[in-house]
């Protein structure tokens, strides 16, 4: 059976760099989605979020600053991304700066926008107070209709701007309906793509989407904010988040980069599956291992993606070297899935999403209590719990309390004193017996109440 859903109208915020587009985007969205900084050109990729303006659901899109430059340069690629966003818009909010007045770039952009045949709302930002209202009046010369003076930073005039946007939107009856199967109505799987700078994360995202959605190039650090996009595979929808490269803390000294890293870490924590992209030509770096450990600490399942596989000569030697390094350094993620491919050519990329789905299924796995305790009895018989302070630890039974990641509780006496090596023994046994490779496994402990604890003789009788 097929259901129908409305395709949300698209509202795109566009303009030259540093006029406050991202600040306005965050203001309309009601929270901080986009990184904001005084440095021009912070936004490099278009960023979208579904929001409600008054009682109308829309897709709001922030874009990179529009500049004239060679298409091969970073700014040229940013402009192309912004033009693609405008092409998909139902309404364009053209944002200008009241303090700077009309600039030649603004005039050129306004002329280009008029030719696109889109409804345009002129937002005159940084128009605080009476001086801002006066500055807004000269914006009539654009020929785009009434200018709306706003202060995105302080919220002034935003209400009138929202009303103008709503009036310009197509009637709800005219919105397009899209068919989809009711088997796929569940929420999308949340997938984050992380890694060091220039590992090929954005190229991978474009390859998965089959389009040039995020800007790429040889320059390291092109992605500055986390960009969320959606795709669908055979099992349903996936929310894919491209993130900025993660470097060692000692090398992060600029405020903007700290904000980019913070956004990447937030995306990692919100994800269910994390794909850690590694430059296979460079091998596994210590920073890659640090990122993997962070993924494990956050309890997320992980897939290792070895990019640039096509340019290697001795692939088997590289694969073995990477495998050995992982097994030695990531014992807590033993059996982690590894996929090799070329994001640039697309060769092997088709293997990634199936690996992600398998890792996700393991992350959600639940083990029946009966089978779990039969294994547990055999495990403690084969290797008795150790002596601690001259007394044998007693572990009575085990149960799983949740998945995502698989979490088990051990009940017994003084279970909190179980040494780490014995905990690893149990975790490895769980992983091998119940086929849970690569996923984090959590052990918790519950001590049984000792009926003799308060008998007055001061002895703890187990």
245, pLDDT greater than 90? no
DSSP 314: S
Q: What does the H/E/C string look like for 141-184?
A: HHCCCCEEECECCCCECHHHHHHHHHHHCCCHHHCCEEEEEHHH
- The domain ranges of the chain are 10-168, 189-218+225-364, 369-447
Query: What are the pLDDT digits (tens) for 348-404?
Result: 999 999 999 999 999 999 999 999 999 999 999 999 988 888 888 889 999 999 999
- Interval 298-323 mean pLDDT: 91
Query: What are the pLDDT digits (tens) for 130-175?
Result: 777 888 888 999 989 999 999 999 999 999 999 999 999 988 765 5
Cα angle: 324, vertex 325, 326; to 5 degrees: 90
What residues contact residue 406 under an 8 Å CB cut-off, 6+ apart? 363, 365, 366, 367, 400, 430, 436, 439, 440, 441, 442
Annotated binding site: 15-22, 62-66, 125-128, 195-202, 242-246, 307-310
| Relative orientation angle of helices 352-363 and 201-209, to the nearest 10 degrees | 100
Asked if the domains at 189-218+225-364 and 369-447 fall in one CATH topology, the answer is: no
Q: What is the pLDDT of residue 41?
A: 53
Give the dihedral sign, CA 191/429/327/345.
negative
Q: What average pLDDT is seen over the chain?
A: 84
Q: How confident is the model at residue 221 (pLDDT cuts 50, 70, 90)?
A: low
Q: What is the pLDDT of residue 123?
A: 94
Q: How confident is the model at residue 419 (pLDDT cuts 50, 70, 90)?
A: very high
Contact present, 376 and 398 (Cβ < 8 Å): yes
pTM of the model: 0.72
Annotated binding site for GTP: 15-22, 62-66, 125-128, 195-202, 242-246, 307-310
Options 3.40.50.10320, 3.10.450.40, 3.40.50.300, 1.10.3720.10; CATH for 10-168 is 3.40.50.300
89, pLDDT greater than 60? yes
Between the alpha carbon of residue 153 and those of residues 20, 51, 150, the distances in Å are 8, 19, 9
Pairing of strands 56-62, 147-149: unpaired
Starting at the edge strand found earlier in the chain, the sheet holding 147-149 runs: 47-53, 56-62, 10-14, 91-97, 120-125, 147-149
| Angstrom distance (rounded) from CA 127 to CA 154 | 10
Percent of the chain exceeding pLDDT 70 equals 83
Return the CATH architecture of domain 189-218+225-364: 3-Layer(aba) Sandwich (3.40)
Put residue 20 in one of left, alpha, beta given phi > 0 → left and psi -120 to 50 → alpha. Answer: left
182, pLDDT greater than 70? no
Closest of 297, 384, 305 to residue 348, by C-alpha: 305
- Interval 108-130 mean pLDDT: 91
Superfamily classification of domain 369-447: K homology (KH) domain (3.30.300.20)
């Amino acid at each position: 059976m097929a259901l129908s859903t409305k395709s949300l109208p698209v509202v795109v915020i566009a303009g030259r760099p540093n006029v406050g587009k991202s600040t306005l985007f965050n203001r309309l969205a009601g929270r901080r989605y986009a990184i904001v900084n005084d440095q021009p050109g912070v936004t490099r990729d278009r960023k979208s979020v579904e929001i409600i303006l008054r009682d109308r659901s829309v897709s709001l899109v922030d874009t990179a600053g529009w500049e004239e430059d060679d298409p091969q340069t970073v700014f040229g690629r940013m402009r192309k991304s912004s033009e693609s966003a405008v092409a998909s818009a139902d309404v364009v909010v053209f944002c200008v700066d009241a303090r700077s007045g009309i600039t030649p770039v603004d005039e050129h952009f306004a002329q280009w926008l008029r030719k696109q045949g889109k409804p345009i709302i002129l937002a005159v930002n940084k128009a605080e107070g009476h001086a801002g209202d006066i500055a807004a009046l000269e914006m009539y010369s654009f020929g785009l209709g009434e200018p709306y003076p706003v202060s995105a930073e302080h919220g002034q005039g935003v209400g009138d701007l929202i009303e103008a946007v709503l009036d310009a939107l197509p009637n709800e009856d005219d919105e397009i309906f899209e068919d989809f199967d009711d088997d796929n109505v569940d929420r999308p799987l949340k997938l984050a793509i992380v890694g060091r700078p220039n590992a090929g994360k954005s190229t991978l995202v474009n390859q998965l989407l089959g389009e040039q959605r995020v800007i790429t190039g040889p320059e390291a650090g092109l992605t500055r904010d986390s960009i969320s996009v959606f795709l669908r595979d055979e099992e349903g929808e996936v929310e894919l988040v491209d993130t900025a490269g993660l470097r060692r803390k000692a090398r992060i000294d600029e405020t903007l980069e700290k904000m980019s890293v913070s956004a990447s870490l937030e995306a990692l924590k919100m994800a269910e599956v994390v794909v850690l992209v590694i430059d296979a030509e460079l091998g596994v770096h210590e920073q890659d291992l640090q990122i993997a450990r962070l993924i494990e600490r956050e309890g997320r399942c992980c897939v290792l993606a070895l990019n640039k596989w096509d340019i290697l000569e001795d692939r088997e030697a590289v694969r073995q070297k990477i495998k050995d390094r992982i097994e030695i350094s990531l014992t807590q993620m033993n059996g982690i899935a590894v996929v090799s491919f070329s994001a640039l050519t697309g060769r092997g990329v088709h293997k990634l999403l199936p690996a992600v789905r398998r890792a996700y299924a393991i992350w959600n796995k639940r083990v029946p209590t009966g089978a779990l305790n039969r294994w547990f009895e055999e495990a403690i018989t084969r290797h008795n719990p150790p002596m601690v302070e001259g007394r044998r630890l007693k572990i009575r039974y085990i149960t799983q309390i949740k998945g995502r990641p698989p979490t088990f509780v051990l009940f017994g006496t003084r279970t909190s004193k179980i040494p780490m090596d014995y905990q690893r023994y149990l975790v490895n046994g769980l992983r091998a017996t119940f086929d849970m490779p690569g996923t984090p496994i959590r052990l918790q402990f519950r001590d049984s109440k000792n009926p003799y604890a308060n008998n007055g003789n001061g002895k703890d009788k187990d």
